[in-house]
Amino acid sequence: MPSIYHWLVGICAVSTVWANPMQTRAADYVMPNSTGFRMQHGFETVLVQPFGYDGFRVRAWPYRPPTGNEISFIYDPPLEGFEGEKAHGLDFDTAFNGNRTVAIRNGNMVVRTSGWGGSPGGYRLAFYRVEKDGSETLLTNEYAPLKSVNPRYYFWRGPGSEFSAEFSFRSTPDEQVYGTGTQQDHMVNKKGSVIDLVNFNTHIPTPVFVSNKGYGFVWNMASEGRMEFGALRNKFTAESATVVDYAIVAAERGDYDTLQRRLSALTGRAPTPPEASLGYIQSKLRYENQTEVELLAQSFKDHNIPVSMIVIDYQSWAHQGDWALDPRLWPDVASMAKKVMDLTGAEMMASLWPSVSDKSDNYLELMANGLLSATRSGPGTTDSWNGSYIRNIDSTNPAARQFLWNTLKRNYYDEGIKNFWIDQADGGALGEAYENNGQSTYIESMPFALPNVLYAAGTQLSAGKLYPWAHQQAIEEGFRNATATKMGEACDHISLSRSGYIGSQRFCSMIWSGDTTSVWDTLAVQVASGLSAAATGWGWWTMDAGGFQADPTVPWSANIDTPEYRELYVRWFQWATFLPFMRTHGSRKCDVQHAYTCSNEPWSYGEGNTPIIVSYIQLRYQLKAYLQAVFEQFHQTGRAIMRPLYMDFERTDPQIAKMTQTNVNATTQQYMFGPRLLVTPVMLPNATEWEVYLPRTGQNETKTWTYWWTNQTFAGGQTVTVPAPIAHIPLFHLGKREDIMSGNVF
C-alpha cells in the first residue's frame, strides 16, 4: 500500500516560482482533505477532484450541469486510492469564480489555477509533480499563449444543447507520447501525429497516453473527435458532448510501471485468461462446414501438434443477424465441439458480426423492440454486405446486449462453442468505410461519409466510441452470467475483438490489429502497433500471423505455394510465439485455388518449414509458466506484458530515449516480452543474420544478455549482429533460462 505521503491533502495557496519556470517550491498546504474545487468562469463551470493516487479528474461544461450519469469509462471510485470505497460523484468543498489562485494536492501531484496575460485571476489549470526534495515540476498546463483561443473552447454546431469542444494542453518539442490505441504507422512515439477518433478496420484510436515527462492522461469521452500532438500543444476534440471529462495521473519520471498502475486503477484491470487461450489458436478464412473442422482436428492429432483453440470465421451462418451456425453446413454443433475436444483437447471459437439483414429470423423481433441502431436521416440502414442492406444491433442498449447473448448462448454456448470472435464491431458502419462492401465488383473505395448512427446512448458523433466497447461488454456480461463469476475474476472463456476503447482490458477480450496485408512492411508495422496497445493499457493484444489478405500489388503475397510467402509466414509465425496470444488467421491463395479456402495450417508451408513452425508451437507451450506469471502481474498491477524498451531502460540507457524520440527501428521493432525476454522479429527477406540493440541494464554493465539459440552472452549498450537463419528469431534473455521456464521471474 502507498505510504501516508499519498493521503489526500488540499490547499488554498499561491506558490513561489523559482528561477527555473519548470520548477516551483511546494507551498505550505493549509486546507487538508479537500474533495475538490468548482470554478465558475462565466457560462462555464470546471470541477476538479483528487482521483485515485497521484491524480486528478477534471470535468467542464458550459451552461447546463452534468447529471452524473454521463457515459464514462473510468471507475468512480478508482480501484486504488485514498478512501477508495467512496465514490466522488460531483463532490467538492471549495467554490470560487476564477478570481483567485487555488491549488490542491493529491499524493505527489498538485493542480493549481493561475491567471493569464498578467491577470491575477485563476482560471487556467496547471499540473505539477512534487519531487522528493519538495520542489514541483510542471507536467502540463492548459495551453494559453498571449491572445490565443481559449484552451477550453466550446462551440455549437446544431440546434440542440450538445456542443463541440477543443481542449489544449502545453507540450514541448522534446515530449514523447506513448499509447493512443493502435494505428498502422510504425510509430511508438506519437509526437507529431494527428489521430482521428473514429474506429475502423486496423485503426483503433483511443485517447489514453503516457508521457516521458512522467504523467498519464485519459480523455474520458465517448464522442468522436481528434487527438493532435504538436510541438507546443496537445489538443483533444470532442465532436458532440454535454460535458468534457478527463483524468491525469503522475509518477516519477521514467517509472512507467507506476503510471500504468495509476491508469489501470482508473480504467480497469485485466482478469487472468483461461489456460486454453495461452496456447496455439488455429484459424483461417474460413472453415466451411462441420466435416472440414472435424477433419482438421484429426489432422492435428495425426501430426501430433498441440492446439488449444480452433476458430470458425464469418459467413458460417445463413443470414446476417442469425447468430447461429447454418444447420445445412453444421448439422450437429454439440457433437463437433465434443469431437474436437476429444481429439485435440482444443476449445472452439465462432465469429459473430453486429449486422442484421431483414432476411434474418431475428430481424422482426429486434426491429419491433427498438434494438437495432438507426440513422439520423434516411431509411435507417447503416451499411451493406454481400448484396443486402443491414442494420447493426444497438449494443449500447442493455436489452439488445441481453438479446444478443441469449441468442449466442442458445445457438453456440449451450452446444459447446463457448468463445466468441467479435468481428466488424467498430461502430457506425461495419468498419469498412472506404469500400463498397461487395455491392459491385466495379466500384470500390467510394468516399461515403460514415453514417451518423442513432443509438440508445446517443449519436455516432456523441457516443460512437462507446459502441465497440459495449459490444465487448455484451459478451462479458454473458460470460459472467453463464459462469456465475464477477468482472475481474479469472475468465473461463474469451472473446476476440477487432475494436475496443478506454478500459477494454477489463473484459475477457483480446484485441487484434485487424485485416492486415501479407507483406514484409505490414509485419514491421504490427510490432509498433502492439507496443502502442500496451502503453494504452491493452495487454490482451494479438494479430493475424501471416497477415490477413494478399496485397494485390505483390504477386506472391498470401500464396502458400510460393517460397517468398512461405519465408514471410515463418518469420511472422515465429514472432507470434512472443505475443500475449499466439494465433494465425488469413485468406490464403494457392496454386490450385478453391474459392478463398486455401490452407493455413502448420503443415501448409512446405516440408522444410513444417518442423520450424511446429517447434515454435511447442516452445509456446513450454513458456506456459512464464505466460501465466506475466498475465498475473498484469492482472494485479497493470504491468505491461509487451514492453517497449523505454519502459524498462529509459533510466539506465540514455540511448533508448534518444532512439525512441525519432522512432528508430530498435525502439519500434524490438521489445521486452515480460521481464526477461528481448524479442526482435526479422523484418526482411533472405536474412541470415540480424542486428539487435541490447539496452544497458545498469551503470556497471556486464554480460547480462544471453542469445537464446547459442547461449553466447553480451554486455548491454551496444548493437550486436547475431545469426538468424530461417529457424531462429533473434531472441535474448535476462537471467537463467530455468527461471523463465518455471515462471520464477518476479
Where does residue 447 rank: exposed (0-12), middle (13-18), buried (19+ CB within 10 A)?
exposed
- Select which of 383, 423, 544, 648 is catalytic: 423
pLDDT surpassing 90 at residue 277: yes
Supply the pLDDT for residue 487: 96
CA distance 668 to 190: 11
Decide: 416 and 409 in contact? Cβ < 8 Å.
no
CATH number at 642-742: 2.60.40.1180
515 is an active site residue: yes
Supply the pLDDT for residue 121: 61
Banded model confidence at residue 613, pLDDT cuts 50, 70, 90 = very high
Decide: 532 and 184 in contact? Cβ < 8 Å.
no
What residues contact residue 159 under an 8 Å CB cut-off, 6+ apart? none
Torsion angles phi and psi, residue 41, rounded to 5: -135, 80
Torsion angles phi and psi, residue 174, rounded to 5: -90, 0
Q: Which three cell numbers stand for residue 453?
A: 448512427
pTM for the full predicted model:
0.94
Supply the pLDDT for residue 594: 60
Alpha helices in 484-538 (DSSP H): 520-536
Supply the pLDDT for residue 252: 98
Tens-place pLDDT, residues 359-369: 999 999 999 99
Supply the pLDDT for residue 52: 95
Residue identified by cell 472440414 is 292
- At the topology level, CATH places domain 275-637 in TIM Barrel (3.20.20)
> Within 13 A of 596's CA, how many CA atoms are on the CB side?
13
pLDDT surpassing 70 at residue 3: no
Percent pLDDT > 90 in the chain is 84
- At the topology level, CATH places domain 37-175+212-267 in Immunoglobulin-like (2.60.40)
Q: Which three cell numbers stand for residue 36?
A: 475538490
pLDDT surpassing 60 at residue 224: yes
- Residue ranges, comma separated, of all CATH 2.60.40.1180 domains in the chain are 642-742
Sign of CA dihedral 254, 257, 262, 266: positive
List 705's β-bridge partners, or say none. Answer: 714, 734
Tens-place pLDDT, residues 71-122: 999 999 999 997 666 789 999 999 999 888 899 999 999 999 987 544 556 6
pLDDT surpassing 50 at residue 642: yes
pLDDT surpassing 50 at residue 15: no
Task: Tell me how far CA of residue 216 lies from CA of 75, 362, 631, 735, in angstroms.
Answer: 16, 44, 22, 31
Banded model confidence at residue 627, pLDDT cuts 50, 70, 90 = very high
Report the DSSP pairing between strands 388-392 and 718-723. Answer: unpaired
pLDDT surpassing 50 at residue 387: yes
Tens-place pLDDT, residues 418-455: 999 999 999 999 988 556 666 666 666 667 777 889 99
Query: Any idea what the Cα angle at residue 470 is, between residues 262 and 414, rounded to 5°?
Result: 115
Which among 139-148, 700-709, 732-741 has the top mean pLDDT? 732-741
Average pLDDT for 519-532: 97
Supply the pLDDT for residue 29: 45
Omega of the bond prior to 391 within 30 degrees of 0, cis?
no
- Residue ranges, comma separated, of all CATH 3.20.20.80 domains in the chain are 275-637
Decide: 422 and 353 in contact? Cβ < 8 Å.
no
CA distance 510 to 148: 43
Average pLDDT for 635-653: 97
- Select which of 54, 322, 426, 515 is catalytic: 515
Decide: 92 and 65 in contact? Cβ < 8 Å.
no
Tens-place pLDDT, residues 689-706: 999 999 999 878 788 999
Banded model confidence at residue 241, pLDDT cuts 50, 70, 90 = very high
CA distance 197 to 205: 6
Percent pLDDT > 70 in the chain is 92
